[in-house]
Amino acid sequence: MDIIRNFPLFTIVLSLFSGVFCTMLKGKTAKYYTLIYECLLIVLVSFVLWYTYRTGDSFTYTMGEFPAPWGNEIRAGVLEATLALGFLIIIFCSVMGGWKFLVVDVDETKVNLYFTLINLLTAALMAMIWTNDIFTGYVFLEIMTLTSCGLMIVREIGRTTLAAVRYMILNLLGSGLFLLGVVLLYDITGHLLMVPMQENIAKMASTSAAMEPVTMSLGILTIGLSIKSGLFPFHFWMPDTYGWSTPTSASILSSIVSKAYIFLLFKIYYRCIGIEIFENLPIRKILFILGILGMIFGSISAIRKSSVNRMVAYSSAAQIGYIYMGIGIGGMMGYTAAMFHIIVHAVTKSLLFLTTPRLAEVSGDSLLFKNLQGSAHRAKDAGIVFVLCSLSMVGIPIFAGFSSKLMFALSAAQSDNMKILFFTMSALAISSVLNALYFLRTVIRIYTEGRGGADISAHKLYEEEKGIRGVAYDMEDDEEEEETMLSKLEFRIPAAILIGMNLFLGLFSWYTVDLIQKGLEMFP
């Protein structure tokens, strides 16, 4: 079984190799290769999860056999494997579910380069999850930033270029602050590996004067990753970034990339600083306050939008607030709730961004609410999926969103701090009401019959044309029907997977909670 200890490294190396290999393939071939290779990664990570859960312990892979503090290390535990598995499944579903729009949005000669970016982003994602070295986290954080910009700008319309430039500027600012924090921590501790850094900081914890530079370094580092992950008030880049990207890009960027930054930050709190020390720092209280503000103001901004994609994007800002609020609550239950919500939001939001363009497709390719009137009747699959995702986001029982909000409430109740309990329960109540306002309003609109500005869909026009052209084009119509069936399957399969994951997280949440808590127990 020792070969399983190599699998985390394989996920990084295979992803880097696949990124280069896709440059030599044609577009559709690169797509199928990426889907197959993502399945291989899912199998490898599943073995890692099984191995770490069965043995009850994490393991470390030392690069080049150089010991600490000189060597670079990869560490795998139950928590890392759980998140990696969930993220890889979402990438697979995003690639399959968004293919129909990808071939329209991206130039045919650049489709293979698009999958190169997907694979390089996967390598960065895996490295950030497995790394046991804070500087390696920074290196792959930069790779993720560059590939994310590429996934946006590949659509080549004016708004995506503007969004990509804005995203790049803000993310480079965040990266610079993160690097400055890393340099300061290295200067203080003399280590880049997480465990030796934590040991040195623990020795300084008894002296308040010695902890001041550590707190300052951690604060700078936190601001950097808060900008990159979209914590309030740094969330204003989200609407253009997610709203104007091609559906596959929006699905991956909103559900995975921002969560990878948060997980890296959480690893630094837990494994570089030490969770006991972190809980006594003022940073935790600030994250709690900003998280609550993000939940409320993100939802208010979502209500005011006239476009469904921008509404869903601002909703992401609110959901990021939930995660930071959980970290701010602290304790085993608070951290468990935050990690659980990372998975819940990733599963739900990825599917929302794959669904909204299908509603727009039958509404004159418009994402405006006024033109989506009755769109769920014209795209029945997309309508049903949007309703299920909306119910989860609002927090209706049996769906993952309900389990997530319940866990936040329980974590606040266990904190023994009445202020935390009051503000958490108030924020959950207000945010849930606001979520219901903008998601259920959208559900009502897409199921209300009417003649909006784009009520005559491409589907109806096709039926009219078919009646005029007659029998001469039956063969062509059959081919179009086959393409339509394939397109439906490419949406239904990932939709079924993600809805299944959502219901599993809602109905059997204790299985995932058990994995997260076992992972946290072996995290130090």
pLDDT at residue 343 in the model: 93
**Span 305-317, average pLDDT:** 83
Residue 66 has pLDDT above 70, yes or no: no
Residue 462 has pLDDT above 60, yes or no: no
Give the pLDDT band of residue 381 (cuts 50, 70, 90).
confident
Residue 43 has pLDDT above 90, yes or no: yes
pLDDT at residue 366 in the model: 78
Residue, of 318 and 210, whose pLDDT is higher: 318
Give the pLDDT band of residue 307 (cuts 50, 70, 90).
confident
pLDDT at residue 78 in the model: 92
- Give pLDDT tens digits for 236-245: 777 777 777 7
Residue 129 has pLDDT above 70, yes or no: yes
Cis peptide before 494 (omega within 30 of 0): no
Q: How many CB atoms lie within 10 A of CB 339?
A: 28
Token code pair at residue 21: 């290999």
Give the pLDDT band of residue 482 (cuts 50, 70, 90).
very low
The answer to whether the beta carbons of residues 390 and 443 sit under 8 Å apart is yes
Give the pLDDT band of residue 451 (cuts 50, 70, 90).
low
Q: What percent of the chain has pLDDT over 70?
A: 90
How many CA atoms are closer than 13 Å to the CA of 180, on its beta-carbon side? 16
Cis peptide before 69 (omega within 30 of 0): yes
Q: What percent of the chain has pLDDT over 90?
A: 26
pLDDT at residue 336 in the model: 92
Token code pair at residue 266: 């959480």
Residue 421 has pLDDT above 80, yes or no: yes
- Give pLDDT tens digits for 74-126: 888 899 999 999 999 999 999 888 888 887 777 777 888 888 999 999 999 99
The answer to whether the beta carbons of residues 3 and 51 sit under 8 Å apart is no
The answer to whether the beta carbons of residues 21 and 61 sit under 8 Å apart is no
pLDDT at residue 69 in the model: 59
**Span 210-215, average pLDDT:** 83
The answer to whether the beta carbons of residues 91 and 257 sit under 8 Å apart is no
CA dihedral 284, 286, 287, 290 (to 10 degrees): 160
Give CA–CA dist 304/251, Å, rounded: 22
Q: How buried is 444 (Cβ within 10 angstroms: 0-12 exposed, 13-18 middle, 19+ buried)? A: exposed
Q: What is the mean pLDDT of the chain?
A: 84
Please give the full DSSP string across 46-69, using - where no structure is assigned.
HHHHHHHHHHTS-EEEEETTPPTT
Three-class SS of residue 189? helix
Residue 230 has pLDDT above 90, yes or no: no
**Span 378-397, average pLDDT:** 88
Give the pLDDT band of residue 465 (cuts 50, 70, 90).
very low
- Give pLDDT tens digits for 160-210: 777 778 888 888 889 899 999 999 988 888 888 888 888 888 888 777 777
